[in-house]
Structure 1
């Protein structure tokens, strides 16, 4: 049976999307190649026509997810402090805590990225630095951009570790209040 010219690209995109959701829900290392392929209705053997290894897939997931995060969190360059504030409010929300598969990859995959080979970490660094640069332009401060980025990711990690929704909300609100205070000090309120 012959497949369309786009079939391989479409299958690869399905595999990336499905694997990203799986990785953000359960961790990347917990699912094998057979499980990843089964999720899109294909056999494990078909995996190798798209990626040479599971590590190559992970690098592609990291690049894809962080590119999407950059797009959501910095936009097309027309970002201003009000839009950044809206993004931060959405990032530090209970829906983001409760739906890791639909949000930023850093809080859920950060530890796996840190344990990965240098190519994965370099890919992550590229996208994280692009986000930092976008925020630094808006904030007028490299160090504040790093601090806010770290605060957001850390707050989400801590909130997801907790079980009581009210305590989770307290973590998110405290982080948002502190970030807003720092932005106001920069004259960005």
Structure 2
């Protein structure tokens, strides 16, 4: 039976969405093709009608996730410092720690991206540099924008490593306070 183009596109989108959530929650390398397809109710063999390899899927996930992060965290023109502050509060929050599957891909998949092929790393670099450029315009400082971006991702990684929610919260609030102070002093 032949499926319509729109059905194939919808299935591909479901696969991307489900695979991204699994990758952020469990690590992309830890989930096989059969597990990825089972999550959307299909057999492993159907995977190859959407992607030529698991690596191609990973590249598509990285591009999709980082473009969505860019939209959430400040895509367009330079934003206000108030909007940047709201982004930081959202990013450095317990719901973001607890719900890795629906959050930013960098804290959970950053190490896998770093080990990926050059094409995937170039896609990631493009999106990250676009976010950096936006924040740099807002802050009028390229170095402060890199520092904030790096500290946010690192703080989320450290908070997720902790077991005690109180310690997780301390990591997040300390990072937010320090970043807020640096922004205010700039």
TM-score calculated relative to the size of structure 1: 0.96
Indicate yes or no: 2:179 matched with 1:179. yes
Distance 1:157 1:36, change over 3 A: same
Checking the alignment, whether the CA contact within 8 Å between 2:78 and 2:134 is kept in structure 1 is no
Structure 2, gaps ≥5 residues long: none
Indicate yes or no: 2:8 matched with 1:8. yes
Checking the alignment, whether the CA contact within 8 Å between 2:108 and 2:157 is kept in structure 1 is yes
Describe the superposition over 1:118-162 as per-residue Cα deviations: whole angstroms up to 9, x where unpaired. 111111111100110010010000000000000000000000000
1:1-189 mapped onto 2 (5 Å cutoff): 1-77=1-77, 79-186=79-186
RMSD of aligned Cα (Å): 1.0
Per-residue deviation, 1:46: 1.1
Count of matched residue pairs: 186
**Secondary structure, in 3 states, of the residue corresponding to 1:29?**
helix
- The separation in 1 between residues aligned to 2:75 and 2:68, in whole angstroms, is 10
Structure 1, gaps ≥5 residues long: none
Structure 1 moving runs of 4+ over 4 Å: none
Per-residue deviation, 1:2: 3.5
Checking the alignment, whether the CA contact within 8 Å between 2:132 and 2:146 is kept in structure 1 is yes
Per-residue deviation, 1:78: 5.8
- The separation in 1 between residues aligned to 2:155 and 2:9, in whole angstroms, is 36
Per-residue deviation, 1:45: 1.1
**Secondary structure, in 3 states, of the residue corresponding to 1:145?**
helix
**Secondary structure, in 3 states, of the residue corresponding to 1:41?**
coil
- The separation in 2 between residues aligned to 1:48 and 1:102, in whole angstroms, is 25
Q: Which moved more, 1:128-137 or 1:74-83?
A: 74-83
Per-residue deviation, 1:75: 3.8
- The separation in 1 between residues aligned to 2:90 and 2:5, in whole angstroms, is 39
